Amino acid sequence: MNEAYLTAFRELMSMDDVLILVHRNPDGDCLGTAFALKRAFENLGRRVCVAATGTVDRNLRDITDGAEELKPTFLPSAIVSVDVATQPMLGPDLACYADTVDYNIDHHYTNTEYARNNIVFGSASSAGEVLFDLFRACDVEIDDVMAEKLYAAIAFDTGCFRYSNTTAHTHEVTAELLKYSFDAPAVIRKMFDIVPLRQLKLERVALDSLRLYHDGRVILLPITRKMLEENGAEDEDVSGMVSLIRRIEGAAVCATLKETKEGDVKVSLRSADDIFDVSAVASVFGGGGHVKASGCLIKGSMEDAEQRLLSAIEARLCGQEDGV
Amino acid sequence: MNEAYLTAFRELMSMDDVLILVHRNPDGDCLGTAFALKRAFENLGRRVCVAATGTVDRNLRDITDGAEELKPTFLPSAIVSVDVATQPMLGPDLACYADTVDYNIDHHYTNTEYARNNIVFGSASSAGEVLFDLFRACDVEIDDVMAEKLYAAIAFDTGCFRYSNTTAHTHEVTAELLKYSFDAPAVIRKMFDIVPLRQLKLERVALDSLRLYHDGRVILLPITRKMLEENGAEDEDVSGMVSLIRRIEGAAVCATLKETKEGDVKVSLRSADDIFDVSAVASVFGGGGHVKASGCLIKGSMEDAEQRLLSAIEARLCGQEDGV
C-alpha cells in the first residue's frame, strides 16, 4: 500500500474532535464506513461525529445506531470525508465544509481529490474495504462493532457480493470480518430484504404500468404520486423497484421514473447486461453514477420525462447496435 | 482434514467410468458440485456422467452445459453421490443405485452415511465448498470451468453469501475461486435474478391472495393451477415466491402452497426470524429440510391443506411463545 496514504491515515488517527462527512442521501457503504471509523476514534477516547445531508433510510438505521439525522455537534479540528467522490456530493447541509476537507477516503475512480490528503483506491469494491485495509495496515484494532459496520458497508456496495466490483480481495476482507462476532445474516436481511407490506403492494400496482420497448430490451416504470398515495407508500419504498424490473428476462436497460413532490421526475437507471452504459444516459440530464447504475433528475412532467429518457436511451442503443 | 476422507477421495479420483448422482429436483449446489467433479474426471481423460431424477430448472442450465435431463449413459464402475443426504433423496429414477453408492460427498449434518465411503462435512456451507477443499487437499488441478461451477454451487446454497451457513472459510474459498477467470456476476444473475415477465405477473396476482395471520407473523400464499394457467406461468416460476413473501416486515414464518397437477399441495416453508424451526412443521406432513427452509407435500385440497398447515404452525408458535 502507498506509503503516503498510510502516513496520512496515521495522522488522521492521531486527531481529536473529528468530523466525518458522508455523501448526501447516505447509503450503506458510506454509513458503515463512517460509523466504523467513528467507533475507532471512540475506542481511542476521542470526540467524533458523523454528518450527512438528508435522512438515513429506515433499513440503514442499525448502522447509525438508530439515528435518522446526522448533524455536526461540535467545532471540528479535523474533517474527513468517506465515500464522497466530489464536493457537490456532500449536499447543501455540508457544503460549508467542501473546501476544508483534511482527509478524503474513497473508492471511486472519479474522485476529484479535493482534500488536503486524498486516500483513494479506485479498484476497491467499497469505502468499507478501503477502511479495513487502512485499519489493518496501520494496526488500528478492530472490534466486533467495527467489523459489523464494515461488513455492512462492503455488502451494501457489492449488492451482497454479487456485483462485478466484488474481487477476490473483497472476499478475503469479508472472511477476516466474519471471524469477529456479529450476526451477518441479520445485517443483510435488515439492509436488503425486509420490506413493509405496503411496498410489495406498491410493486404490484406499479407492475401494471410497466412499459416495454424494443422487444422488452428497454423497460421503463413510471411511479406517480397517486400510486404512492393510494398504497400508503413513501418515497423510499420506490428505491428497490429498479432492481425488481432489472430481473426481467431480456432486459438490457431499465429505469424507474418517480414523480417527486415538486412535480419533477427522479430517474434511476440500471444496465441489465454488461454492455449498455447507463451513466452516459444519466449525464444527458446532468446526472451521473456508474456504468451499470446511474441516476438523474428530469424537470417537467412524467409524460415528457418518459419520452425524453426513452429518446436518450434509444440514441445510445442504436449507436451500440451499429457497433459505434 | 480427516485422513480417511482424503484416502477415499484419492481412491475416487483414480476411478474410470464414474457415475455422479445428485438429489432429485437438482439445485445449484448439487449440480455445480457434480459438474465440477465431472470436469475433473474429464480433464484426467476418464469416462464420467451425471444423473438426476427430475429436470434441471432453466436458471441452472448454464451449470449443466445446457442439459435439461441427466441420464446415466454407461454401466459405471464407480458411483459417487454429491449433496445427497439420504437414499430416498435420489428419487425414483436413481433408486436402483441407492444401495451401491461407493462414495458419498456431502455437507448435511443429517447425512445417513449410506455409502461404502462417506465424506461428510456438516459444517460446510455447501457440497461445492466440500469439493473445493477436497480438490485442494488432494492436489486435483482446478481450471476456470471447475472454478465457475464450484462458485455457482457455493453461491446457490448460501443464497449469494447471505445465509447463516456462510462462514469465514466460505469467503476464503470464494476468494480463491475468484482468482480464476469466469464471469461471476453473470453466474449469479442467471441463477438468481433473471425471471420471465410472466413470473412477475404471477407474483402480482398471487400477492392479491396473501393471507396474514397473527398480526402478520404468519404469512401463507396459496397458488392455484388457475393462477398459473391464467398467467401462462409454469411450476418452476413459483419457486422464488416464498423468498418474496419472506421479505415482508414482521413475518416470522412464511409458506407458499402450490396446487400440483395431481391436485395435492406442495408447501415451501421459510423461517424469517432466527427462532422458528420450519423443518419441524414440514416433518408433521412427512417432509423435511433445514431449520430455516423446508418443504412437504400435503395430500388433498388447497383449503384443507392451508388449514392443516396453519394449525401445525400455530402449535409450534404457541410452544415457542410459552418458552417450550
CATH of residue A84: 3.90.1640.10
Could you write out the DSSP letters of every residue in A205-220?
A: HHHTT-EEETTTTEEE
Question: Measured between beta carbons, which residues in chain B are less than 8 angstroms from residue A196?
Answer: 248-249
Q: For the beta carbon of residue B311, count every other beta carbon within 10 angstroms.
A: 12
How many domains, chain B? 2
Interchain proximity B185–A178, CB inside 8 Å: no
Residue B324: pLDDT band (50, 70, 90) is: very low
Does the pLDDT at position A323 exceed 50? Answer: no
Hey, are the CB atoms on A247 and B193 less than 8 Å from each other?
yes
Cell of A6: 498510510
d(CA B259, CA B263) in angstroms, rounded, equals 6
Q: Using CA atoms, how far apart are residues B13 and B22, in angstroms rounded to an integer? A: 18
At residue A226, the 3 state secondary structure works out as helix
Let me know whether A183 and A203 are in one domain: no
Q: Is A268 helix (H, G, I), strand (E, B) or coil?
A: strand
CB within 8 A of A143, min separation 6: which ones? A39, A43, A180
Q: Which residues of B75-105 are buried (b: 16+ CB within 10 A; e: fewer)?
A: ebebbbbbbbbbbebbbebbeebbeebbbbb
pTM of the predicted structure, to 2 decimals = 0.85
Among B193, B223, B248, the domain boundary falls at B193
- Residues A35, A147, single domain; the answer is yes
Residue (of B29, B53, B196, B45) closest to A251 by Cα position: B196
DSSP letters spanning A285-313 = TT-EE-SSEEEEEE-S-HHHHHHHHHHHH
Confidence check: pLDDT of B322 > 60: no
Q: Which of B147, B164, B193 is the last residue of a domain?
A: B193
A177, A147 in Cβ contact below 8 A?
A: yes
- A71's CB contacts (< 8 A; 6+ apart) are A51, A93
Strand A78-82 versus strand A103-106 pairing type: parallel
At B320 the pLDDT is: 63
Q: What is the pLDDT of residue B200?
A: 82
pLDDT digits (tens, 9 = 90+) for B72-119: 999 999 999 999 999 999 999 999 999 999 999 999 988 999 999 999
Give the pLDDT score at A319: 67
- Residue A320 has phi, psi (to 5 degrees) of -65, -45
- Residue B27, pLDDT above cutoff 90: yes
The DSSP secondary-structure symbol of A128 reads H
Domain end, chosen from B193, B218, B235, is at: B193
Q: Are residues B165 and B226 in the same domain?
A: no
Residue of A nearest to B59 (CA): A249
d(CA B220, CA B87): 31
Which of B185, B196, B204 comes nearest A164 by C-beta? B185
Widest CA span in chain B: 61
Give the whole-number percent of chain A exceeding pLDDT 90.
77
The helix or strand, by DSSP H or E, that contains position A6, with its residue range, turns out to be helix A3-13
- Determine the average pLDDT of the residues in B49-73: 96
Amino acid at B160: C
More confident residue, A212 or B239: A212
Q: Say if residues B98 and B37 touch (Cβ distance below 8 Å).
A: no
Angle at B210 between CA B209 and CA B212, to 5 degrees: 135
Distance CA B76, CA B71 (A): 12
Give A243-258 as a 3 state SS string: HHHHCECCCCEEEEEE
Whether the per-residue pLDDT at B289 is higher than 90: the answer is no
Residue A317: pLDDT band (50, 70, 90) is confident
Give pLDDT, residue A264. Answer: 94
Q: In terms of domains, do B219 and B186 share one?
A: no
pLDDT value of position B140: 98
Q: Report the CATH number that the domain containing residue A274 is assigned in CATH.
A: 3.10.310.30
Range of the domain at A53: 3-193
Phi first, then psi: give them for residue A207, nearest 5 degrees. Answer: -60, -25
**Distance, in angstroms, between A273 CA and closest chain B CA?**
9
B80 and B184: one domain? yes
Residues B155, B122: one domain?
yes
Are residues B193 and A244, on separate chains, in Cβ contact within 8 Å? Answer: no
Same domain, A227 and A81: no
Give the pLDDT confidence score for residue B199 in this predicted structure.
82
Residues B170 and B149 in one domain: yes
Strand A18-21 to A78-82 pairing: parallel
Beta bridge partners of B7: none
C-alpha span between B98 and A96 (Å, rounded): 72
Q: How confident is the model at residue A320 (pLDDT cuts 50, 70, 90)?
A: low
Whether residue B305 contacts residue B316, with contact meaning beta carbons closer than 8 Å, is answered with no
Q: Taking 80 as the threshold, does the pLDDT of residue B318 lie above it?
A: no
- This model of the complex carries an ipTM of 0.84
Of chain A residues 193-212, which have a CB less than 8 A from chain B?
A: 193-197, 200-201, 203-204, 207-208, 212
3-state secondary structure chain B: CCHHHHHHHHHHHCCCCEEEECCCCCCHHHHHHHHHHHHHHHHCCCCEEEECCCCCCHHHCCCCCCCCCCCCCCCCCEEEEECCCCHHHHCHHHHHHHHHCCEEEECCCCCCCCCCEEEECCCCCCHHHHHHHHHHHCCCCCCHHHHHHHHHHHHHHCCCCCCCCCCHHHHHHHHHHCCCCCCHHHHHHHHHHCECHHHHHHHHHHHCCCEEECCCCEEEEEECHHHHHHCCCCHHHHCCHHHHHHCECCCCEEEEEEECCCCCEEEEEEECCCCCCHHHHHHHCCCEECCCEEEEEECCCHHHHHHHHHHHHHHHHHHHHCCC
In the predicted structure, residue A296 carries a pLDDT above the cut 50: yes
The string of pLDDT tens digits covering residues B207-246 is: 888 999 999 999 999 999 999 998 888 887 887 788 888 8
C-alpha distances (whole Å) from A236 to each of A21, A149, A156, A323 are 22, 22, 16, 38
In this prediction, residue A321 carries a pLDDT of: 54
For residue B247, give the nearest of A167, A194, A248 by CB distance: A194
Q: Are residues B307 and B224 in the same domain?
A: yes
Distance (Å, whole) CA A82 – CA B191: 34
Q: How far apart are CA B122 and CA B27, in angstroms?
A: 18
Size of interface A-B (CB pairs under 8 A): 108
Q: Are residues B140 and B265 in the same domain?
A: no
Distance, in Å, from the CA atom of B26 to the CA atom of B190, rounded to the nearest integer, reads 16
Q: Which residues neighbour B220 within 8 Å (Cβ) at sequence distance 6 or greater?
A: B210, B211, B213, B254, B255, B256, B257, B306, B309, B310
**CA–CA separation, A263 and A301 (whole Å):** 7
Q: What is the mean pLDDT of residues A287-298?
A: 88
Rounded percentage of chain B residues whose pLDDT exceeds 90: 77
Which residue out of A176, A192, A193 would a mutagenesis test of the B interface target, given it has the greatest number of B Cβ atoms within 10 Å?
A: A193
Mean pLDDT, range A194-220, rounded to an integer: 87
Q: How confident is the model at residue A269 (pLDDT cuts 50, 70, 90)?
A: very high
Which of the two residues, A201 and B51, has the higher pLDDT score?
Answer: B51
pLDDT in tens, B113-162: 999 999 999 999 999 999 999 999 999 999 999 999 999 999 999 999 99
> Which of A132-136, B60-64, B285-289 bottoms out in mean pLDDT, i.e. has the lowest?
B285-289
Cα four-point dihedral sign A292, A297, A299, A301: positive
Q: pLDDT digits over A124-178, tens only?
A: 999 999 999 999 999 999 999 999 999 999 999 999 999 889 999 999 999 999 9
pLDDT of residue B323: 44
Look at B175 and A168 and tell me if their CB atoms are within 8 Å: yes
Q: Could you give the CA distance from residue B259 to residue B300 in angstroms, rounded to a whole number?
A: 9
Kindly state whether residues B112 and B156 are assigned to the same domain: yes
The type of residue at A91 is: G
* CA distance to A253, A322, B233, B240, per residue, from B237 (Å): 23, 35, 6, 7
Q: Does residue A302 share a domain with residue A179?
A: no
Q: Which of residues 236-265 of B touch A (CB under 8 A)?
A: 244, 246-249
Pick from A47-51, A173-177, A294-298, B136-140: least confident: A294-298
Q: Is the pLDDT of residue A324 over 70?
A: no
Alpha-carbon distance B128 to B30, whole Å?
A: 8
Q: How confident is the model at residue B321 (pLDDT cuts 50, 70, 90)?
A: low
Q: Which residue from B171, B203, B216 is facing A175, i.e. has the nearest CB?
A: B171
pLDDT score for B237:
82
In one letter, which amino acid is A269?
L
